[in-house]
Structure 1
Amino acid sequence: MIEIGKKNNLTILRDTSVGLFLGDEEGNDILLPNKYVPTAYEIGDKIEVFCYLDYDERPIATTIDPDIMIGEFRLLQVAEVNEYGAFMDWGLEKHLLVPFREQRNKMKQGQWYVVHCYLDQKSGRLVASNKLDKFLSNENLQIKEWDEVDLVVTRQTDLGWEVIVNEKHKGLVYFNEVFKTINIGDVIPGCVKKIRNDNKIDISLQPLGSRVLEPAANKIYSVIKENGGFLALHDKSDPEEIRDMLQMSKKTFKKGLGTLYKERKIKLEDDGVSLVDE
């Protein structure tokens, strides 16, 4: 089955004046226009393409990777607005429509919005929406605590950053868990720190538990080496100073120091830490 809005691994069936026809195992075919045809190919080769609808609403393939695919949430820019809605630039010739009914507030040309791409069942077209909550649910969670997850940053609140978790759920990264610059639309990894009784999800941007020790220790060790063998930080240093220099919490810093000290990689001094001569 050729899936619209997704990447498909298809077989090159035949070469024509307008391009290559590609097919699946069920006998369906689709055109890959000449401008996307690779310089070298053979009939029978497999090729990965993205499939969508062209200006005439006909299925068509491209070797260009779009900025969003069906089921995803991504930050896109409005290329134009007309009587049908807002049209987002998603990296393809034909822009992606956000109908007016799918806009939380009227979108403006040139502005950026996090949107969700889906297949409209009535028209069969790929469209987008920035009414994100209707595509998310925390009722039946498909994750558990300590899971590594994929995040899309959606907005800043009084408590922290709201994130979409694995394209399915809604989570929150509290400000005191953020040790690097993040922005709306960022696609970043994270970990499930806690699932509350009401199924609200607390997210950490750092590995949890013992898994944080080795990365933290390695980073501290690298920074000490980069600074000539000495780092002017210690267990009494201000948390903000540690965050600015190492992008980690003071608690993680102290655990990392402990790991390095046990391995006899560093010496703890009054005004900082230094490498042990090897």
Structure 2
Amino acid sequence: MSLEAGTKVQMKVERKAPFGYFLSSGDTDVLLHESDTEGEVEIGDTIDVYLYHDHQDRLAATQHTPHVLLGEFSWLEVVDIHPRMGAFLNNGMRKDLLLPADQLPEIKDKWPRAGDRVYVQLEHDKQGRMLAVLGKEEDFEEITHPAPADLFNQDVTGYVYKIIKIGAFLLTEGQHLGFLHKDETTEPLRVGQKVTARVSRVREDGRINLTMKQRKEVSYSQDAETIYVYLQNRNGRMPYTDKTEPDIIKQKFGISKAAFKRALGKLMKEKKVYQEDGWTIITENK
């Protein structure tokens, strides 16, 4: 019987060792470490085990069920990052699974972090050791389905699986494929990152375009509230109006001149403030 890492096999328990048991397939002995056992193990038993390479690159066995086997796909959690080797993933076994650096973006800021999740397939390297390979767009075909039209303007959550120069691709928890253009993001994105975004378009092919930016009416309200609180903290008066220079607005309020004018316009329309001689004043102070 040919033994390969990443596969499930039946093996006979041949003998006890100080640190576990030796299992046999007939012509090959494999160590089942004590920490890899589940329940009672007796000499002479034939048991189901999963094969992997231990930290000394020896073929070993475990009774713990891995999250993904050879040739399968699964979402795995990132547990650690090595700047030269790549990302290490939790595959439900004692030894973490390596996602090599050549599978990840060239820019390390776009690499996943501990706690992120990546969609990977289990394969062998040239030495027969297990490694993870990132899923590609065509690999999602069997697990995705078209988004319904009524998903438009709804918030969805998903994980980034690919980053390109103009944006990021992600798979939502509803199993829809989405694209997030870089102009629609509010922070730099990385592979494996969990993202919540709003559906800005449901395409004819059932894929979705997304935005992380707030709806304009929400932004207007929040900016207007910020300005009003600022006024209240200045005894109801400030020397900033819709004529104030953009760099001053950005420095004082952290928003663009256009956003400031929209928010100020909202407050004036609601008659909460008015402008006079280069000042904005709370109406109740008039």
TM-score (norm 1): 0.49
